[in-house]
Structure 1
Amino acid sequence: MLKGLLRLAPAAALLIMLGATAHAEDGRRVFTGTLGKMPIVMELETASAENISGRYFYQKYRKDLALHGIKNGEMLVLDEGEQSYGDKLPLPKIQLHIEPNRLWGDWSNDEGKMLKIELVEAKQPVIPASTLPYLVRLHESEPYEYRRLQGLQLKQGKTETFNGYSLQWWGEPQTKLTIFEIVSGYTPEARERINQVLMGRLWQEVVGYYECFAGSGGAFYIQTIKPLLITPAVISVDVSTEVNCGGPHPDNSEGPINLDAKTGNSLTLEDVLWVGRGSPLHYEEGNNEQSSGAFNAYSEYRSKEFAPWLVGQLRELYPDQMLPGSDENCAYNEEDHWQFPTWYFTENGIKLGPNFSHAEAPCAYVDWSVLPYNVVKQHPGGVALQLP
């Protein structure tokens, strides 16, 4: 069932009827319509009449154009785009009359070109039960981004075998982002849940790609996907990105996917390894539905129990690398760098990556910081796993 869904690119099968909804809680509203003859989608944040902000994209191109301006009576007066530092070039103007659930007006530039704009507030339809979980969350929380995916279709790529499992690769042609699904091994139910997570990550990266290109000259977004370990018990996939979304320097990051192969559930480090008192915590970074109290407990555990323990283990295992002053630029012996490490499964143990500031980013890329499974198994986490 999932393979068919992927060929239809959930977008083609599921997003044709999609709409968006007003975000009453933060003033965001989503509109659809035309600028000239071109279909567009627009999001406006209207909580402050003196500081209207927003963005829109042409459905043909999908890349954002920034909006900012004011509400003047029953009119929105907006500038399109951003001025580069030191520039004072005239920006295109958008003036929109405000009516209940409708905006209409004109787009114009300094060359005298003028185009009509017609917009209506987008509505939120019911979506099919087969929609990928990530797209369901996007549908509820970010209808503008959900709209952006409308019409995108995945292209089937190469097949390969990894650790005895068959992988089918898929790519999104416009962004050139890719990921694979697992098409052999596991029960059909577990495989479907695993692939839902993997494909959800692909669509998440597509959203990130277009957000990165929001009016920023010279932006780029390069992603590398690599299977790391696939066993009957666990799955690890490396997701590395190099991006420049307008800052002075590019950002490099790793965001591995770690899954319980039997259930398809994402794993936190505390699900696998627990060195604290009491029952293991389960805190998912990036999950905004968790309470501030849960984060405080998680942060306290990581700083006061986990990081000191991990640094002690690494000093015993890798004394040369962890020796103070062994690297004049990277103080690997300091606990702060190991509170929130990246991690994934390898054949020999859990690979943990230290955390450094942007200026010290090269320090994060080390190949020696593996915690062997014979150590990990002495400190089991909250999920029963058959580790290698």
Structure 2
Amino acid sequence: MTHGWLRCGAWLLSLLATAVQAEVYTGTLGTMPVVVDLDLSNPEQVNGRYFYEKYHRDLALSGTLANDQLTLDESLDDNSDTPRPQLHLKAREGGWQGQWQKADGKPLKVDLKPAQVPDTAPGADPFWVQLHDNAPYDYLRLLQLPLVNGKRDAFMGYPLQWRGEPDAKIQLFEVESGYPEPQLSRVNQALRSRLWSEVVSYHECMLGSTRFGEGEYDQTVTPTFLSPAVVSVSVYTSYYCGGAHPDFGDAPINFDVDHGKPLSLEDVLWVGEGPAFHYDDREGAQQSEEADVDFDKFSTYRDKVFAPWLVRQFQQLYPNEMKKPADENDCDYSDPEVWNFPTWHFTAKGIAFGPSFARVARMCEGTEWSVLPYSVIAQHPGGVKLALPQGG
């Protein structure tokens, strides 16, 4: 099973894993400006992608490198007999020259030079600095995709300005006021970072779907709790990136305003022995020096301590919903395993948890009742001191 939080959290790791070997070029295909990304580490299995600057959508490349000659097929193999366009390129002065040709068309000249990646602007968000250093191909694309302001509204007394990237149809909000500086700057920096990372994920998804046709990446963003202490947002994505099945899931934003950091669940709620540990459970997250446990210890705590405890709380709070079903095909919320790694976000009444089921039972997810009140959370504070409501 692949959840939304798995999909969107892993994008940077995948970029970092290929950044060392990938080479980025700019140039022209025919008369059209293009940006090309090639992994030449294995001459027998060259992989890459490119986009026309006019359209920004990736086209996959795969082929071989021999005697300074690149032979590349365009698009992913769809196991059909339809011939794919090919590029035949020869190394020239650090770049590549040659031609692109469809089976039934005339050849077009290709001229590629190593990309000159402009520096980030002074004071740029850390997201842009990281992207510039580790993923210049995506950096060059995003530079061409300005955000567009959308509607203005308010939530829990905070005025919001929605902003979106039209190509990917990804949008998120920034908070206009209500927090003192530098908290307001940190909040909006985190929200912008998430918006742009979703745009990167959208393009990765579309590239992966090209073997089977058009992909899907539909997203609904809903603020769920804004307070002087935390910002919490549901980011629910329905997506199809190739493969046998589409998927969906929530990947919430939970942000500590005072410390300017994403919150892990153990930062907020701790039911174990001794002091709470910190482990960033977002997929692909780089563990900081504060992470004093490894994944095995983290998962053991979730499996043996947290999930059974949460089931007991919900059995007291929601006895009807938590009844063990008579039919094994019905949703069994009494099984602690479905609460080992739940999605979670803040609400006005408490923390809303989302269970995780195997693919055949995915209709059991999306519960609206599974909220743990702040009155319970206050009895089991996590490792970060947060001013949260005491009621609920």
Task: Quote the residue 1:149 is aligned against.
Answer: 142
- Corresponding residue for 1:102? 95
CA 1:154–1:247: 2 relative to 1, 3 Å = same
Contact 2:18 2:39 in 1 (8 A): no
Residue equivalent to 2:70: 76
1:306 and 1:120 map into 2 onto residues whose CA distance is: 54
CA-CA distance at 1:359 after TM superposition: 2.9
Q: 1:14-34: per-residue Cα shift (whole Å, max 9, x none)?
A: xxxxxxx99887522111111
- What amino acid is the match of 1:145? D
CA deviations 1:214-256 (Å, max 9, x no partner) are 1251312111111111122222111111111223332111011
In structure 2, what is the equivalent of residue 385 of structure 1?
A: 386
Maintained 8 Å contact 1:186/1:262: no
Q: Distance in 2 between matches of 1:136 and 1:376?
A: 37
Partner-residue secondary structure (3-state), 2:100? strand
Which residue number in structure 2 is paired with residue 324 of structure 1? 324
Unpaired runs of 5+ residues, structure 2, are 1-14
| Counterpart selection for 1:208 from 201, 208, 211 | 201
In the other structure, the counterpart of 1:247 is: 243
In 1: Cα distance, 2:164 partner to 2:43 partner? 42
Q: How far does residue 51 in structure 1 lie from its aligned partner after superposition?
A: 0.9
**Partner residue in 2 for 1:299:** 299
Mean alpha-carbon deviation: is it higher for 97-106 or for 165-174? 97-106
Deviation at residue 287 of structure 1 after TM alignment: 4.0
CA–CA separation in structure 2 for the residues paired with 1:274 and 1:90? 58
* Mapping for residues 109-188 of structure 1, pairs under 5 Å: 109-188=102-181
Aligned residues of 2:21 and 2:40 also touching (Cα < 8 A): yes
Contact 1:156 1:171 in 2 (8 A): yes
Is the 1:22–1:29 Cα contact (8 Å) retained in structure 2? no
Distance change in 2, residues 1:136/1:358 (3 Å):
farther
Q: 1:255 to 1:324 in 2, by over 3 A?
A: same
Does the C-alpha gap of structure 1 residues 143 and 275 become closer, same or farther in structure 2, counting only changes over 3 Å? same
Q: TM-score, normalised by structure 1?
A: 0.89
* TM-score (ref. length: structure 2): 0.88
Structure 1 Cα separation of the partners of residues 136 and 231 of structure 2:
31
Identify if the C-alpha distance between structure 1 residues 329 and 98 changes in structure 2 by more than 3 Å, giving closer, same or farther. Answer: farther
Name the CA shift for 1:158/1:24 in 2 (closer, same or farther; >3 Å).
Answer: closer
SS in 2 for 1:188: coil
The whole-number CA distance in structure 1 between the counterparts of 2:305 and 2:298 is 10
| Paired letter, 1:33 | G
Structure 1 residue 155, shift from structure 2 partner? 1.4
**Counterpart secondary structure, 1:53:** strand
Report the 3-state secondary structure (helix = DSSP H, G, I; strand = E; otherwise coil) of the residue aligned with 1:211. helix
SS in 2 for 1:61: coil
Q: CA deviation at 1:379?
A: 0.9
Instruction: Tell me the residue number matched to 2:359.
Output: 358
Mapping 1:35-46, distance limit 5 Å: 35-46=29-40
Q: Could you tell me which of 27, 47, 51 is aligned with 2:45?
A: 51
- Matched position secondary structure for 1:343: strand
Shift of 1:37: 1.1
State the alpha-carbon separation in 2 of the partners of residues 331 and 31 from structure 1.
52
Structure 1 unaligned residues grouped into runs of 5+: 1-20
Q: Contact (CA 8 Å) 2:119, 2:132: kept in 1 or not?
A: no
Structure 2 Cα separation of the partners of residues 259 and 22 of structure 1: 24
Shift of 1:363: 1.0
Distance change (3 Å), C-alpha of 1:96 and 1:203: same
CA deviation after TM superposition for structure 1 residue 326, in Å: 5.8
Identity %: 45
Q: Is the 8 A contact 1:23 1:29 kept in 2?
A: no
Tell me which amino acid in the other structure corresponds to 1:75.
Q
Partner of 2:266: 270
* Contact 2:160–2:176 (CA under 8 A) maintained in structure 1: yes
Once residues 22 and 175 of structure 1 are traced to their aligned partners in structure 2, the CA distance between those partners, rounded to angstroms, is 22
Deviation at 1:65, TM superposition (A): 0.7
C-alpha distance in structure 1 between counterparts of 2:251 and 2:152, whole Å:
23
Partner of 2:7: none
Alpha-carbon distance, 1:298 to partner: 1.7
